[in-house]
Amino acid sequence: MSENKNEKLKNITEKEDVLLNVKNLQVSFDTYGGEVKAVRGVNFKLDKGETLAVVGESGCGKSVTAQSIMQLIPMPPGRIKSGEVWLDGRDLLKYSDKEMEKVRGKEISMIFQDPMTSLNPTMKVGKQIMEALIKHQNMSKSEAKDKAVEMLKLVGLPNPERRAEQYAHEYSGGMRQRAMIAIALSCNPKLLIADEPTTALDVTIQAQIMDLMADLQKKLDTAIILITHDLGVVADVAKKIAVMYAGVIIEYGTYKDIFYNPKHPYTWGLLLSVPRLDVKKDLRLVPIEGTPPDLIAPPKGCPFAARCENAMKICKEKMPEEIKVNGSEEGEHFARCWLYHDLAPKVDNPVTKRRAKLNE
């Protein structure tokens, strides 16, 4: 009991600028084939106004994590097995549906990959922004309308007055994503979760949207969780990066840590497998061979072991803990990898090696 109290006290007295603190989140889906352990113990913190990128391939649990924070997991088949999601000192997982409704859209907003399916096709775009404002901010209709136009202008839509009167199908893909961002940001949320916001868009539009998000963050000081499978996309905007694999965060650090001194072999793989436009052609890509494990029966050891060149006996036996590595300034760079155990053999870091080669 007293321990519980201490825990609570700790949460309140914790560093003031921590906005979101996710602790040991575990989410499963019950299917006919058995229990799919989609998220298997995720911990991370997010400061106010900070951008965290969650990177991983499809099925690694990154979207499920985000949806659990919002409590958008369909239950059943979904099930939040354990964990805490502290937002400003309140555990959201203890909230009822009704209470969550006041959090969603007001304190945390979310944008999705496909803006067409997340906009209501039968309602004018301006009206969709007004809805949230009237609900959460108690605005009058005319106030909300002005604010809606202002939001559309903020996200860079030309002719916002006219655009507010149009329907989603009259917008192009990029404009729809802008409209989604306008809706998401209309109530000044503390946290914006963007789930693959540019994956469905063309490169030139993707650049526009990422630019806009970085710009808006500066203006509005909203914290952002950016979920993506492409490390390249987040190079510009992320401050912290969490790399997820098979339902766990296998490496976490600042963007400098992850790009320039990554520690987990999977992160190495992610960085070495993408072609570089700014590098001469002939370097053969180093793919991450194999396929991620099916989370209906995750391996008992490290989930990446089967695809890892450096796998050791222990990797197949035991899941590694979070090991602090390399003490970067903030000292929050960790990797879940046995290579950083005292007894493990030393391994060359192929990412720093390649970098050195490129700089020659």
We find the least distance from the C-beta atom of residue 295 to other proteins, in angstroms, to be 10
We find the least distance from the C-beta atom of residue 23 to other proteins, in angstroms, to be 21
**Closer CB to other proteins, residue 99 or residue 330?**
330
Non-local (6+) Cβ contacts of 96 within 8 A are none
**Closer CB to other proteins, residue 56 or residue 126?**
56
Structure-block tokens of residue 278: 């700014």
Amino acid of residue 231 = L
**Closer CB to other proteins, residue 72 or residue 306?**
306
- Rounded CA-CA distance 245/38 in Å is 10
We find the least distance from the C-beta atom of residue 323 to other proteins, in angstroms, to be 7
We find the least distance from the C-beta atom of residue 24 to other proteins, in angstroms, to be 19
The per-residue b/e assignment along 10-40, b for 16 or more CB within 10 angstroms, e otherwise, is ebeeeeeebbbbbbebbbbbeeeeeebbbbb
We find the least distance from the C-beta atom of residue 216 to other proteins, in angstroms, to be 15
We find the least distance from the C-beta atom of residue 124 to other proteins, in angstroms, to be 20
**Closer CB to other proteins, residue 193 or residue 210?**
210
Non-local (6+) Cβ contacts of 154 within 8 A are 182, 185, 216, 219
**Closer CB to other proteins, residue 33 or residue 327?**
33
Find out whether 205 and 154 touch, Cβ atoms under 8 Å.
no
**Closer CB to other proteins, residue 105 or residue 247?**
247
- Rounded CA-CA distance 56/252 in Å is 12
Residue 254: strand, helix, or coil:
strand
Find out whether 3 and 50 touch, Cβ atoms under 8 Å.
no
